[in-house]
Structure 1
Amino acid sequence: MCPPIHGRPRPPSAVGFAGPCRGEPVLRIGGCEEGGGGSGDGSRAVRRSADQLRLARGRDGAPLLRGDATRLPFAAGTFATVTALWVSTDAGDFAGLVREAARVPRPGGMLLFYGVHPCFNGPHIEPRPDGATVIHPTYRIRGRHGRSPWWREGGLRDRAGMSHVPLPGLVNAFIDAGLNIDRVTEPREDPIPCALAVRAFRA
């Protein structure tokens, strides 16, 4: 089972879920070590932090930019595909991020989201040693969570906190951005899914 919160397992099926996009311009938002497919002219990768940029250099063939995903420095309709990997826990305005990510694909272009499953991977989740998961009633508290008593002391989330978007808010962000949701899946075969993927297209 994926370790909730404490780790970000590589999404082995992200590129397959996106479909073929070789030679097409792709914008990759977030996901410092994961590729999103596509290496054509005009491909770009945006990271929020300098540390993410440092980790990504040498792993990502696309030019890397540091920037705010809610204010992308690209014209509308620039990319064939946009991928947003592991961003919902770091974005203060997830709906704004999706709205901006929906602006830059071409008409008919794709937006692929791959990130934590908001029902089973968040500040309300307490992993148990026997593999069970306890879901606490803080699930409906959206926004920034500074810490939870069941987070590993000194771990990433204990030090940095995380943002939480309940499932309706996550799905509605795509609908409100005018995207057509084509497919939603819980990747991997874990009994309790830790990741959620959404594939949507610009009208």
Structure 2
Amino acid sequence: MTDMPVSSFPRTERTTVHRLPKRATYDRAAVEAILDEGLVAHIGFAGTDGTPVVLPTAYARLGDKVIVHGSSVGHFMTTLAEGVPLCLTVTLLDGLVLARSAFHHSMNYRSVTVFGTARVIEGHEAKLEALRGLTERLTPGRWDQLRPVTVKEVAITTVLELPLTEAVAKFRAGPPVDDAEDMGWPVFAGVVPLKLTAGEPVPDPTPAA
């Protein structure tokens, strides 16, 4: 009998939200939905000299893990591969909230924060499967259309998995919340929706060999 993922993440010292806690949720389905919609994560960690570093990267949630990849000789991946504690965040911006005062301006958003330590995926086949999952997540159906990945390409790529064991989602939705005495102020108040959309594909101008 296999262990089924719990329906919510435990509240830990790192994931407990103290500022506006009503906006937080530890529900696994909510966390996974945000991760599945996002395309770019920011990973924060301490560099080799202790300097805080935050870098953006593509990612994919595959089951109960988040997959990231990069050059096997790059500082980013080599540091993470050493097992340093990290923080991964994903944010979806849904709208600008325009209030009747500058103080109450806000944003509608959905975000996820994951804490943990990444593990190196070892072995050609395991790495290849993770890279396939990442590619299919970003561009569904494309992997089988591409020139097959070479053994060398897999070898020089570090693929990491971050277990989803310590995570929290936070969100804001809805109209502005103004002070009662400001409700009659003659300025637009409401939400300007924002959405990431794909444009018309632009073909590569370089002619085929």
TM-score bin, normalised by smaller chain: under 0.3
Structure number with the higher helix fraction is 2
TM (norm. structure 1) is: 0.26
* Higher normalized contact order (CA 8 Å, seq sep 6+, divided by chain length): 2
